[in-house]
Chain A
């Protein structure tokens, strides 16, 4: 193959890929653009819309009128809280299964995964009633509990696949080098496990942030995270494109940025290590 043909081929591929990428990304881009328009301009035809003036008004309105920051904080507390609790439970468990595997370790892992397969509607009613009776409806605590439990299997699995990759010989080398269990954990295991723990945290925050079954069912206003807040825009009489766009942009921006960092981990995390 001559260099000329290769270069032309690369050009064609590049153009095609950029076009497809742009089209897929377009709805997000469009939302961001509309968010900087006034309500009147937002519903104009695309070209006229683009040519109209830019403004931050929608952001200010979303902020002041609908208490956006409270919902944002709810999302932060719920997704980060549930992730940290899940990590606290999962790290020891994954650790033990990766480094002291027993005969039933594999069965336990599979069983944990199987709990993730249970459809949420199957337990909607009892959970709703339990939460009602325990006063957990529309509380952050309640959502942290539920999201911890539904994401726990994924967290354990991700950590397990990461810990599994730390070669046993390195731990043996540390032991030969005179490391006690404490210094083995402190100097060898933790530094080697931190990247895995960090990407698990990242992916799980994303999953919890975007969870839209339990967050919609179990909250109404006080503890409502952004998913519920945005859903409140669905009522037909409240069609404010610019404000909806501004709110959406603010709801997705932080997680989109986190998500871009976690692309690689996403694959192995969501496929439970089956595809790396």
Chain B
């Protein structure tokens, strides 16, 4: 079981309020991603759940029990740190076995679990090495191994992939997602990378300045962002945000249109513009188009779209994909 509930949780460091007041429900077995720009309080929130920081006010319930005052060890949670935090003086085997040893489990059971975890994570051949002799990806796996042997109520991940190179990151992303599907344990995952959030999460929590901007499934956030912040944060390339008369004519202060929802044509359309930089990815082409009275618009065209710098094009937004935001930044 791994149902985690935050009730009116607050965190202050001295005078500085990091998390004003926050409520959140995490269901058992859910993969929840906390995402937001750096300094938004997402790591602090994770550490509050872990028990590594004291809550200033409010309650944390784990499976209905009040865990607010519990020390981290008693909460039954496992954490994978950004730096992996492996014990440098212990072999891989001892690293993974450490939490079990602390739980005073008997040797045979420890060995069974460690071997099992090593098999799942492809670490069997490295069990006698020290962390210093492993590659980044292997260290990451050891950190995960140390977490899974405990069979915790929930896993906490603190930006676990940020120290890996791009190719490895994609691999580990898949491995963690697969792990979640086979273990079906609650996972809370902190990242600043919205691609990770979109690809891995059952539920995304978008945080900004310690406040929850929106909670929802990746597609909910993509389809109907609750406000300008979420609209700008989720989606790659970023949503085009247009203020001014064009927005006013649609009854909004700001309108947003994603690059993939702008149709482009060489012959005619709603907004005439001039092509600036075009980025050819092969599968897609991203065009940066200058339209009079608007910021530079990003357009995503499928496949190869042969235009050059300075070419004249017309853009037409798909009418049902236009997001409208009021003066307070909230979606209308």
List residues of chain A with CB under 8 Å of any chain B CB: 167, 169-170, 172-180, 183, 187-188, 191-192
Which residue of B is nearest A195, CB measured? B89
| Alpha-carbon distance A150/B8, docked complex (angstroms) | 54
Which residue of A is nearest B83, CB measured? A169
Is B103 touching A178 in the complex (CB atoms < 8 A)?
yes
What 7 A-B pairs are tightest by C-beta distance, nearest first? A177-B99, A173-B85, A178-B73, A178-B102, A169-B85, A191-B89, A170-B85
Is A179 touching B79 in the complex (CB atoms < 8 A)?
no
Nearest chain A CB to B143 CB, angstrom units: 8
Query: Which residues on B sit within 8 Å (CB–CB) of A180?
Result: 73, 102
The interface residues of chain A, by DSSP majority, are classed as: helix
Which residues between 23 and 58 of chain B lie within 8 Å of chain A, taking CB atoms?
A: 50, 52
Contact of B88 with A by CB under 8 A: yes
Contact of A177 (CB < 8 Å), options: B71, B82, B98: B98
Contact of B73 (CB < 8 Å), options: A177, A188, A192: A177
Which residue of B is nearest A177, CB measured? B99
Is B81 touching A183 in the complex (CB atoms < 8 A)?
no
Which residue of B is nearest A169, CB measured? B85
Query: When each residue 66-108 of chain B gets 1 if its CB lies under 8 Å from chain A and 0 otherwise, what string results?
Result: 0000011100011101110111110000000011001100000
Query: Which residues on B sit within 8 Å (CB–CB) of A170?
Result: 85-88
Contact of A169 (CB < 8 Å), options: B81, B89, B146: B81
Contact of B72 (CB < 8 Å), options: A175, A183, A187, A188: A175
Which residue of A is nearest B89, CB measured? A191
List residues of chain B with CB under 8 Å of any chain A CB: 50, 52, 71-73, 77-79, 81-83, 85-89, 98-99, 102-103, 146, 150
Which residue of A is nearest B94, CB measured? A187
Nearest chain B CB to A194 CB, angstrom units: 9
Query: Which residues on A sit within 8 Å (CB–CB) of B52?
Result: 172, 175-176
Is A177 touching B89 in the complex (CB atoms < 8 A)?
no
| Alpha-carbon distance A13/B118, docked complex (angstroms) | 50
| Alpha-carbon distance A202/B85, docked complex (angstroms) | 29
Nearest chain A CB to B14 CB, angstrom units: 11
Query: Which residues on A sit within 8 Å (CB–CB) of B102?
Result: 177-180, 183
Query: Which residues on B sit within 8 Å (CB–CB) of A191?
Result: 89
| Alpha-carbon distance A188/B86, docked complex (angstroms) | 10
With A169-B85, A172-B81, A175-B71 already in contact, 12 other A-B pairs whose C-beta atoms are closer than 8 Å? A169-B83, A172-B50, A172-B72, A173-B81, A175-B72, A176-B72, A177-B102, A177-B150, A178-B73, A178-B99, A180-B73, A187-B87
Is A167 touching B83 in the complex (CB atoms < 8 A)?
yes
Contact of A188 (CB < 8 Å), options: B78, B87, B146: B87
| Alpha-carbon distance A191/B85, docked complex (angstroms) | 15
| Alpha-carbon distance A183/B78, docked complex (angstroms) | 18
Is B146 touching A177 in the complex (CB atoms < 8 A)?
yes
| Alpha-carbon distance A188/B82, docked complex (angstroms) | 19
A175-B73, A176-B52 given; A167·B85 CB < 8 A: yes
Is B98 touching A187 in the complex (CB atoms < 8 A)?
yes
Is B79 touching A176 in the complex (CB atoms < 8 A)?
yes
What are some 13 contacts across the A-B interface (CB < 8 A)? A167-B83, A169-B83, A173-B87, A174-B87, A174-B98, A177-B73, A177-B98, A177-B150, A178-B102, A180-B73, A187-B87, A188-B87, A192-B87
Nearest chain B CB to A183 CB, angstrom units: 6
Contact of B77 (CB < 8 Å), options: A167, A174, A176: A176
Query: Which residues on A sit within 8 Å (CB–CB) of B78?
Result: 176-177
Nearest chain B CB to A266 CB, angstrom units: 23
A175-B72, A177-B73, A177-B102 given; A192·B85 CB < 8 A: no
Is B89 touching A176 in the complex (CB atoms < 8 A)?
no
Is B73 touching A173 in the complex (CB atoms < 8 A)?
no
Query: Which residues on A sit within 8 Å (CB–CB) of B146?
Result: 173, 177
Which residue of B is nearest A168, CB measured? B85
| Alpha-carbon distance A34/B79, docked complex (angstroms) | 65
Which residue of B is nearest A179, CB measured? B102
Contact of A192 (CB < 8 Å), options: B77, B83, B89: B89
| Alpha-carbon distance A192/B87, docked complex (angstroms) | 9
Q: Which of A170, A174, A178, A179 has the most CB of B within 10 A?
A: A178
Is B50 touching A176 in the complex (CB atoms < 8 A)?
yes
Nearest chain B CB to A189 CB, angstrom units: 10
| Alpha-carbon distance A199/B103, docked complex (angstroms) | 34
Which residue of A is nearest B74, CB measured? A178
| Alpha-carbon distance A10/B99, docked complex (angstroms) | 52
| Alpha-carbon distance A178/B50, docked complex (angstroms) | 12
Is B103 touching A169 in the complex (CB atoms < 8 A)?
no
Is B87 touching A169 in the complex (CB atoms < 8 A)?
no
Which residue of A is nearest B76, CB measured? A178
Query: Which residues on A sit within 8 Å (CB–CB) of B79?
Result: 172-173, 176
Nearest chain A CB to B2 CB, angstrom units: 15
| Alpha-carbon distance A194/B82, docked complex (angstroms) | 25
Nearest chain B CB to A78 CB, angstrom units: 33
| Alpha-carbon distance A177/B143, docked complex (angstroms) | 11
Query: Which residues on A sit within 8 Å (CB–CB) of B72?
Result: 172, 175-176
Query: Which residues on A sit within 8 Å (CB–CB) of B86?
Result: 170, 173
Which residue of A is nearest B158, CB measured? A169
Nearest chain B CB to A170 CB, angstrom units: 5
